[in-house]
Amino acid sequence: MQDQPIKAPADDAAEAEPRRKRRKPIGWSMISIGVLVAVSAVLVYRRDGIGGVLDILMHDVTLFGGILPRVLAGCLLGAFIAEILPHDKVSRALGPSSGLKGLLIGAAFGAILPGGPFTAYPVASALLTVGADFGATIAMVVSWTLIGYGRAVAWELPIMGVDFTLWRIVISLPLPILAGALGRFVYVRMYPRGDDE
Amino acid sequence: MSAALLIDIVLWGSVIAVGFIAYQKGQAVLTSSLREGTWDFIGIVPRIALGVVGSGYIAAVIPQEIITGWLGPNSGWLGVATAVVAGAATPGGPVVGFSIGAVALKAGGGSPQVLAYVIAWALFAFQRLLLWEIPFMPARFVWFRAAVSIPFPFLAAAIAMAIGKP
């Protein structure tokens, strides 16, 4: 980002001691996905037998093994960013009153962020922790999903073709800013007292 | 796959760069963020295991023909609306949505509808929301973000219809 955290005064580090809430190990979202997976696995078993179930399992376990190191990288990236970004500067650059510039910074950041969901969400969460508002964070997340080059280069170009992919990205360009602006607009009306997470 | 390797290099390069900045701010900052990041990782692994290992089964039982059938070229705004629902219902992962979109295009699906489908899938595939976004982010943010994203696949389809592309 455009700030230079290295030059920040030493007490910034002590002040910026954000502690994210420890999440519950098992929530309803995991249970519902678990049920869905179990039902799907039974359907696959009834259709393709045990061979079909094992084929998918082997393929997905391999995929999981490949993703794990990146998940670790994403978690570390998020944790470092939460620690090193100075709270006051982030609030100014990406906070509720950062205006269009904040949305643009968020969108640009999402577009250049390397990696997949394993980086985007931990980093977005870190930004929220250090003072970005919902609007700028929405711009970042939406920009990562729609404009980020990672998925487009690795998967969309080969599968959908150049023409579709490029037009899809061009048409998507304004969407992160608009989504962030809409988010901000709705947020201040839903939580007028600045109810902070 | 060279694209994946490049992504890994950029990713770990970024981790090392911000790690170095943390180290410059002091040993304590480095160790506490390493600890924090590692705990996040440990907490998240079971969810990702379930999501990644399970998504193959979900994808295997979702009937792709039904989804592609919804996206016909003359389906108009109703087609766009069903495309948005179909995008949300399609399992996450990097490939499934694009594969179905490509099949729909080849089968004569309308471009605006396929565009809306791919964008809706990118914005709020339920499985990605539940397995990636909610574990990492405050749930309130996730629902809020998904809700304010709802108009945008429609907007993208409208732009595509207006300019006649892709």
Note whether A131 and A88 are within 8 A (CB).
Answer: yes
Of A41, A159, A164, the CB nearest to B99: A159
Residues A57, A65 contacting (CB under 8 angstroms): no
Given this model, what pLDDT does residue B53 score? Answer: 81
- Domain ranges for chain A: 24-69, 85-197
Task: Give whichever of A4-13, A56-65, A144-153, B153-162 has the largest mean pLDDT.
Answer: B153-162
Other beta carbons within 10 Å of B44: 22
A43 has a pLDDT exceeding 90? yes
Mean pLDDT of A158-174: 92
Better-scored residue on pLDDT, A25 or B87: B87
| Residue-level pLDDT at B59 | 79
| φ and ψ at residue A105, rounded to 5 degrees | -60, -45
The confidence score (pLDDT) of residue B134 equals: 85
Which pLDDT score, from 0 to 100, does residue A194 have?
59
pLDDT above 50: residue A17: no
Whole-complex ipTM = 0.84
Altogether, the residues listed in chain B come to a count of 166
User: Nearest CA to CA, how far is B129 from chain A (Å)?
Assistant: 9
| pTM of full prediction above 0.95 | no
Spell out which residues of chain B touch residue A32, defining contact as CB-CB under 8 Å: 130
Q: Is B12 on the interface with A (CB under 8 A)?
A: yes
Q: What is the DSSP letter of B26?
A: -
Of B57, B101, B119, the CB nearest to A40: B57
Q: Is B158 on the interface with A (CB under 8 A)?
A: no
Half-sphere exposure of A83 (CA within 13 A, CB side): 27
Q: What is the mean pLDDT of chain A?
A: 83
Kindly tell me if the per-residue pLDDT of A60 is higher than 80. Answer: yes
CA distance B15 to chain A (A): 5
CB under 8 Å to B102, separation ≥6 — which residues?
Answer: A159, A160, A161
Distance CA B59, CA B47 (A): 18
In whole angstroms, what separates CA B107 from the centre of its chain? 24
Q: Of A93, A129, A165, A180, nearest to B105 (Cα)?
A: A165
Contact indicator for B160, B166 with CB cutoff of 8 Å: yes
Which residue numbers in chain B have pLDDT < 50?
A: none
How far is residue A114's CA from residue A120's CA, in Å, rounded to a whole number?
8
Q: Do A122 and B136 touch (CB under 8 A)?
A: yes
Residues A141-161 have pLDDT tens digits of 999 999 987 778 777 888 888
CA distance B122 to chain A (A): 6
DSSP state for residue B95 in the 8-state scheme: S
- Cis peptide upstream of residue B166 (ω within 30 degrees of 0): yes
pLDDT given at position A195: 54
Percent of chain A with pLDDT over 90: 47
| A140's tokens | 């970042």
Q: Which three-class secondary structure string do you get for chain A?
A: CCCCHHHCCHHHHHHCCCCCCCCCCCCHHHHHHHHHHHHHHHHHHHHHHHHHHHHHHHHHHHHHHHHHHHHHHHHHHHHHHHHHCCHHHHHHHHCCCCHHHHHHHHHHHHHHCCCCHHHHHHHHHHHHHCCCCHHHHHHHHHHHHHCCHHHHHHHHHHHHCHHHHHHHHHHHCCHHHHHHHHHHHHHHHHCCCCCCC
Q: What local confidence, expressed as pLDDT, does residue A14 receive?
A: 37
A175 to chain B: which residues are within 8 Å by CB? 119, 152, 155-156
pLDDT value, residue A50? 93
Q: For residue A9, is pLDDT > 50?
A: no
